[in-house]
Amino acid sequence: MAESVASGPCIGILALQGAFEEHRKIVQELGARTVEVRLPDDLDKDLDGLIIPGGESTAMAIVGARHGIFPKLKAFVQGGKPIWGTCAGMILLSNRAIMQKAGGQPLIGGLDVEVCRNFFGSQVSSFEVLLQLEGAAAAGSLGSRGPVSAVFIRAPAILEAGPGVEVLARVKATPCAQARHCVEEVYREQQKQREELLQREGRPSAPPPSVPTAASEDGARGRGRSGGEKTCMEREEDGRMEVVVAVQQGHLLATAFHPELTPERWWHQYFMSMCSQQAQTASKK
């Protein structure tokens, strides 16, 4: 098991499968110490944060179950230290996921979002775009900056987010046919809940909007949850959809793309700043 000896924050890299080596090299270049996390005890090594890399989420779940690490990962999420899930890591951190393989897969959970697995299609549909940052990413501790490059490879997309989830970036792209079908089912269920809410409150029924909205103020979103949720998708006339691809919920960061595959280091710097701030706060207690 690889462990570095740099002097910066100590970042764990979940090393069950996927692009953990690429993340490890980048955070070490930025001055962090790293620990490759494979077994439950690896999470006890005084980590300041954890990266769950991209790869194959089903394979990660299978290997993680074999090593018995999932209960410890779920406890680590509840512990409050920063965790960053990229691509497959975003899926594993999500509370809900659709378009899973037959039989489903275990999720670590903790991030109050619903994701659509493999929203953008197969590997031949991979693409790179510039993302305009929003929220804390646009005006955080690293200061304001222009668009950031992002690589999407068999990537998920966020369809719904709870009220405590902040959107950091969106993208407009054409979903694969299976994802479009799943999205339509989600949308029909949202509209059904919307009508049920109007009936319970005695308000007149209103015609549903022709497209999903990027945010909702009524409590009918969220597939049976408590209300206040927002949808994170909006149709375009050319068949594309605008979907959310980066979010933050307190100490949890998730990106649908692969920041480790671009020369830019912005997202790694952003996560390391989260880890440093958390470590400083903990040291004052």
Residues catalogued as catalytic: 87, 258, 260
CB atoms within 10 A of CB 48: 21
CB atoms within 10 A of CB 208: 14
CB atoms within 10 A of CB 207: 6
Q: Rounded to whole angstroms, how far apart are CA atoms 118 and 258?
A: 14
> How big, in percent rounded to 5, are the helix, strand and coil portions of the chain?
35, 25, 40
Closest to 254 measured CA to CA, from 130, 97, 91: 91
Pairing of strands 166-173, 241-249: antiparallel
Q: Per the structure block, which two tokens stand in for 44?
A: 């006890």
**Alpha-carbon separation of residue 73 from 4, 13, 27, 111, 115 (angstroms):** 21, 12, 21, 13, 19
